[in-house]
């Protein structure tokens, strides 16, 4: 849920009422635009060095309305006000620290001041980078790792002769870490010589606001001198797509990578055009991948991000990402699984060209609102700029370039609730454009694909991204659904189901997508023991049906007052069709009355698959801004024909739903948390007809400070999850990492294991 309280929403809504600035030609100035990160002569200070100049960065200028236009590359905006908080709107770590900076400057000579700057590896030929490098994991087949690197560059000032290249360097004969089969070992294992030199200080994101504030950080060092077995290779990037924006053209460059795996884990260093080196890790040939999962990487409207910024952090976006990166430095992740809402695009409605639509009084007027060329261009401008801002900012930028990403979208990657609004609104001209362009930019920035270049080949292994799994056509967007089926180790597979492209009020996924999903599952290798099915929204979670019914009532007094914007209740209805603000969230849920039949059928099909293939199925979800674990299991009624409860090892219906949300966003208000917690103890009977019980697991016996918790099923703190396979027990281990204190980022682990599949197929 994204409702954070009426006062917060009223503050966010106030930003819509201020005037927008215009360019000399009469066109609106964008709310958010981007400048290149780097320049041809930039030199790098040690991160956090007082007085270090900033590189050009996402431009956010605060006028009367909030944010407009461009800034000088070495300027910096103050913390944002109002409801929208662009990730760059935070004091830069290089900004002088007053007295400390003045005192230090007195003791340094001119030569010492000059030498305190570390020369940065420059790209040759030079590229004006707007976003990236971004790193994607595709899959592993026959001992070969497949993935890609992508950068976005401004054509003005970039040199494309020759085309950008990615240089890879690795040593297949030298293991980098001594991995343990014990999932708890990463908490206490000493750092290997290689990992002790692993530093995020060298990451390009530290050249602009949001980088770490490490004073006098040492320059990056190579773990080892190159050996005779070191391998280097160059991959020429291909032009994937060109964005033609208000300030010129920008090119998406993609370099496809193939790495032959060694018997042991390897570190791979890559550079774009010979620039700064960034390291990522690939598993050994027969090693299970260790990975981290996250969701909800942004703040809802009305949330002040600075409230979540603890000591030592540049912004409220960074604390939990810092913890994830520290865990990665201690024992590296091979994949970073984004479970939806990798960015929040709801602020699209703040763009000046959309204010005429926002101001319309009735849903009927909004549905009929025509889309002009200026509005269409504004939608593209927003998604392009917003992606560049979020994906190149701070700790998240360090993660998405040093841990290979594999992502699936949810509604906020498009706009809040997309697909769960009434048919007439979803088919309106504006929503058609939003769905089209939001999905287009999701595929580009998060999946590194463009269908017009890559095609929609449905035969396995024929698409350039081998993990891509196409489903049916979207009813509101001109794309097939793009699910992902990828290898996570000899015993583990993951399917990330696209639950947004085909979503309507009546369905989550189409028959074509389910058919393709189960064809993929039934054809998995014989050695697979665990399947992780990633669903953006939890499938086993406390019900909110009573609230859904109440908000649908036409005589709901709060909704009626909100439609007339009386008593400050305008935020009780959404800006699209004046329905209740929370209704789209509830209609999104698998347990919504319109999706319940599809949900139950889906679970039954998975139970049948699990039983016959002897594979444990586990769900992984986000969305709800809480950590929780739901469970489906075989029905057990004392004294009945069903007998005593089955040992989970022997129960093919035993399926956990790991819910990990949010890594950045705020938890729901206390009232909502209390309501969800009170509902979480209920054992649901909706699938008793299929001999299936459903409830929540009381995982959270104590709070992060060790004190007992009253509600043990729901944890309302920011979090992410580390996943590792235990080769001794064949269990898949999920360690939900919960932020200990708001804004500090340090986490406490709450582990739970998906048991091995111990039943015999009939």
pLDDT recorded at residue 680: 79
Q: Give the pair of three-digit tokens for residue 742.
A: 């708001």
SS3 content of the chain, % helix, strand, coil (to 5): 25, 20, 50
Cα gap 716→739, rounded to integer Å: 10
What pLDDT score does 678 carry?
80
pLDDT score, position 73? 30
Q: How far apart are CA 208 and CA 76, in angstroms?
A: 10
pLDDT of residue 259: 97
pLDDT per residue as tens digits for the range 139-185: 999 999 999 999 999 999 999 999 999 999 998 887 664 333 333 33
Element (H, E) at 588: helix 583-588
Residue 749's contacts (CB-CB under 8 Å, 6 or more residues apart) are 187, 722, 735, 736, 737, 738
Q: Helices (DSSP H) in 619-706: which residue ranges? A: 670-679
Higher per-residue confidence, 123 vs 557:
123
Give the residue, 200 or 719, on which the prediction is more confident.
719
Helix (H, G, I), strand (E, B) or coil at 691: coil
Q: What are phi and psi of 451, to 5 degrees?
A: -60, -35
Weakest mean pLDDT among 76-85, 125-134, 297-306, 388-397: 76-85
Q: What is the pLDDT of residues 366-380, one digit of tens each?
A: 999 999 999 999 999
Task: Look at residues 183, 271, 221, 290 and name the one whose alpha carbon lies nearest to residue 753.
Answer: 183
End-to-end CA distance of the chain: 42
Task: Place 22 in a pLDDT band, splitting at 50, 70 and 90.
Answer: low
Average pLDDT over residues 637-654: 78
- Helices 394-402 and 373-391 cross at an angle (nearest 10°) of 80
Residues 283 and 308: their CA atoms lie apart, in Å, by 34
Residue indicated by tokens 């984004």: 338
Question: 706: which residues sit within 8 A by CB, 6+ positions away?
Answer: none
Percent of the chain with pLDDT over 70: 73
Percent of all residues in the chain with a pLDDT value above 90, rounded to a whole number: 61
CA-CA-CA-CA torsion sign (15, 18, 19, 23): negative
- Over 549-587, what HEC string results? HHHHCCCCHHHHHHHCCCCCCHHHECCCCCCECCHHHHH
Query: Which tokens is 507 given?
Result: 């369905």
What mean pLDDT is predicted for residues 279-294?
97
Question: What pLDDT shows up at residue 545?
Answer: 55
Residue carrying structure tokens 């700790």: 395
Q: Where does the pLDDT of residue 133 fall: very low under 50, low under 70, confident under 90, or very high at 90 and above?
A: very high
SS (H, E, C) 2-18: CCCCHHHHHHHHHHHHC
Domain 289-541+589-669+697-754: CATH superfamily, name plus number: Alkaline phosphatase D (PhoD) (3.60.21.70)
Is 248's pLDDT higher than 50? Answer: yes
Which of 4 and 441 is assigned the larger pLDDT? 441
Residue 72 binned pLDDT confidence (cut-offs 50, 70, 90): very low
- Measured CA angle at 517 (ends 513, 522), to 5 deg: 150
Give the per-residue pLDDT at 268: 96
Domain 124-175+229-279 sits in CATH at 2.60.40
Q: Which residues are registered as beta bridge partners of 702?
A: 708
The pLDDT of residue 301: 81
In the predicted structure, residue 9 carries a pLDDT above the cut 70: no
Mean pLDDT within 274-300: 96
- What pLDDT digit, counting tens, does each position of 432-451 carry? 999 999 999 999 999 999 99
Kindly report the three-state secondary structure assignment for every residue of 372-417: CHHHHHHHHHHHHHHHHHHHCCHHHHHHHHHCCEEECCCHHHCCCC
Instruction: Identify the helix (H) or strand (E) that includes residue 137.
Output: strand 128-141
pLDDT digits (tens, 9 = 90+) for 93-112: 333 344 555 566 678 888 87
pLDDT for position 176: 63
Cα Rg, the chain, nearest whole Å: 25
Three-state secondary-structure class, residue 503:
coil
How confident is the prediction for the chain on average, in pLDDT? 80
752 neighbors 697 (Cβ within 8 angstroms)? yes
Domains 124-175+229-279 and 289-541+589-669+697-754 share a fold: no
Domain coordinates of the chain in residue numbers?
124-175+229-279, 289-541+589-669+697-754
> Distance of CA 326 to CAs 199, 323, 348, 449, Å?
10, 5, 33, 30
pLDDT band at 496 (very low <50, low <70, confident <90, very high): very high
Quick check: 15 pLDDT over 80?
no
pLDDT in tens, 530-575: 999 999 999 998 876 544 444 444 444 444 444 444 444 344 445 5
For residue 135, the SS3 value is strand
Q: What is the pTM of this model?
A: 0.82
Backbone angles phi, psi at 128, to 5 degrees: -90, 90
Count the neighbouring beta carbons within 10 Å of the beta carbon of residue 19. 10
Q: Minimum mean pLDDT among 3-17, 501-515, 720-734: which range?
A: 3-17
CA 714, 717, 720, 722 dihedral sign is: negative
Q: How far is CA 111 from the centre of its chain?
A: 44
**Cβ atoms within 10 A of the Cβ of 514, count?**
18
| Residue 117: band (very low, low, confident or very high) from pLDDT cuts 50, 70, 90 | low
| pLDDT the model gives residue 81 | 29
The answer, yes or no, to whether residue 247 has pLDDT greater than 70, is yes
Q: Of the ranges 374-388, 577-591, 716-730, which one carries the lowest mean pLDDT score? A: 577-591
Where do we find the tokens 């639950």? Answer: 499
Token pair belonging to 739: 């932020």
Range of 28-42, 344-358, 476-490, 631-645 with top mean pLDDT: 476-490
Q: What is the DSSP letter of 237?
A: -
Environment class of residue 119 by beta-carbon count within 10 Å: exposed (0-12), middle (13-18) or buried (19+)?
exposed
Residue closest to 295 by CA, chosen among 430, 127, 155, 446: 446
pLDDT bucket at 18, cuts 50 / 70 / 90: low
Of 16-30, 36-50, 70-84, minimum mean pLDDT range: 70-84
Residue 355: which pLDDT band, with cuts at 50, 70 and 90?
very high
């Amino acid at each position: 849920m994204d409702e954070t309280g009426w006062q917060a929403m009223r503050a966010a809504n106030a930003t819509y009422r201020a005037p927008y600035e215009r360019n000399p030609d009469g066109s609106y100035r964008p709310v958010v635009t981007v400048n290149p990160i780097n320049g041809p002569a930039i030199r790098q200070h040690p991160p956090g060095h007082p007085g270090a100049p900033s590189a050009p960065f996402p431009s956010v200028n605060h006028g009367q309305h909030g944010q407009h236009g461009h800034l000088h590359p070495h300027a910096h905006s103050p913390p944002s006000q109002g409801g929208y908080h662009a990730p760059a709107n935070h004091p830069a770590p290089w900004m002088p620290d007053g007295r400390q900076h003045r005192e230090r400057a007195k003791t340094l000579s001119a030569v010492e001041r000059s030498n305190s700057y570390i020369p940065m590896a420059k790209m040759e030929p030079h590229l004006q980078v707007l976003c990236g490098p971004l790193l994607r994991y595709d899959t592993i087949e026959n001992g070969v790792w497949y993935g890609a690197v992508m950068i976005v560059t401004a054509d003005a000032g970039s040199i494309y002769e020759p085309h950008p290249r990615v240089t890879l360097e690795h040593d297949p004969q030298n293991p980098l870490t001594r991995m343990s089969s014990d999932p708890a070992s990463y908490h206490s294992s000493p750092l290997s010589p290689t990992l002790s030199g692993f530093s995020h200080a060298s990451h390009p994101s530290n050249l602009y606001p949001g980088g770490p504030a490490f004073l006098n950080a040492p320059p990056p060092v190579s773990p080892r001198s190159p050996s005779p077995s070191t391998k280097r290779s160059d991959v020429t990037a291909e032009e994937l797509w060109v964005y033609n924006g208000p300030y010129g053209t920008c090119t998406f460059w993609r370099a496809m990578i193939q790495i032959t795996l060694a018997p042991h884990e390897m570190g791979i260093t890559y550079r774009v055009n010979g620039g700064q080196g960034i390291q990522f890790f690939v598993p050994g040939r027969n090693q299970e991948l260790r990975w981290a999962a996250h969701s909800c990487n942004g703040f809802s409207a009305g949330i002040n991000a600075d409230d979540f910024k603890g000591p030592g952090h540049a912004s409220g976006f960074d604390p939990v990402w810092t913890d994830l990166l520290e865990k990665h430095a201690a024992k590296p992740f091979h994949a970073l699984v984004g479970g939806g809402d990798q960015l929040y695009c709801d602020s699209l409605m703040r763009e000046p060209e959309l204010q005429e639509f926002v101001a319309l009084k009735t849903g009927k007027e909004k549905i009929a609102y025509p889309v002009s060329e200026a509005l269409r261009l504004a939608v593209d401008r927003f998604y392009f700029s917003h992606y560049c801002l979020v994906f190149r900012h701070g700790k998240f930028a360090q993660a998405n370039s040093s841990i290979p990403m594999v992502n699936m979208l949810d509604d906020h990657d498009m706009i809040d609730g997309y697909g769960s609004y009434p048919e007439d609104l979803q088919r309106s001209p504006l929503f058609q454009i939003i769905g089209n362009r939001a999905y287009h930019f999701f595929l580009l920035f998060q999946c590194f694909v463009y269908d017009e270049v890559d095609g929609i080949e449905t035969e396995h292994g024929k698409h350039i991204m081998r993990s891509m799994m196409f489903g049916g056509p979207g009813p509101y967007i001109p794309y097939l659904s793009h699910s992902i089926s990828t290898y996570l180790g000899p015993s583990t597979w993951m399917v990330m189901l696209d639950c947004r492209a085909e979503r309507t009020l009546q369905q989550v996924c189409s028959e074509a997508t389910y058919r393709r999903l189960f064809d993929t599952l039934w054809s998995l290798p014989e050695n697979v023991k665990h399947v992780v099915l990633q669903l953006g929204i939890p499938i086993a979670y406390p019900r909110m049906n009573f609230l859904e019914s109440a908000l649908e009532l036409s005589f709901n007094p709060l909704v009626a007052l909100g439609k007339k914007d009386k008593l400050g209740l305008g935020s009780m209805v959404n800006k699209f069709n004046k329905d209740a603000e929370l209704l789209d969230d509830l209609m999104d849920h698998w347990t919504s009355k319109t999706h319940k039949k599809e949900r139950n059928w889906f679970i039954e099909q998975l139970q049948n698959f699990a039983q016959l293939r002897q594979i444990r199925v586990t769900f992984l979800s986000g969305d709800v801004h809480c950590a929780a674990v739901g469970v489906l299991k075989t029905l057990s009624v004392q004294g009945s024909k069903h007998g005593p409860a089955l040992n989970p090892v022997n129960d093919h219906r035993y399926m956990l739903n790991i819910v990990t949300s949010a890594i950045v966003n705020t938890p729901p208000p206390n009232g909502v948390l209390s309501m969800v917690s009170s509902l979480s103890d209920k054992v649901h009977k909706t699938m008793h007809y299929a001999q299936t019980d459903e409830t929540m697991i009381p995982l959270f016996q104590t709070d992060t400070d060790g004190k007992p918790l009253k509600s043990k099923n729901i944890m309302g703190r920011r979090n992410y999850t580390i996943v590792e396979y235990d080769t001794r027990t064949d269990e898949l281990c999920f360690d939900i990492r919960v932020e200990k204190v708001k804004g500090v980022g340090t986490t406490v682990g709450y582990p739970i294991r998906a048991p091995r599949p111990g039943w015999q197929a009939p």
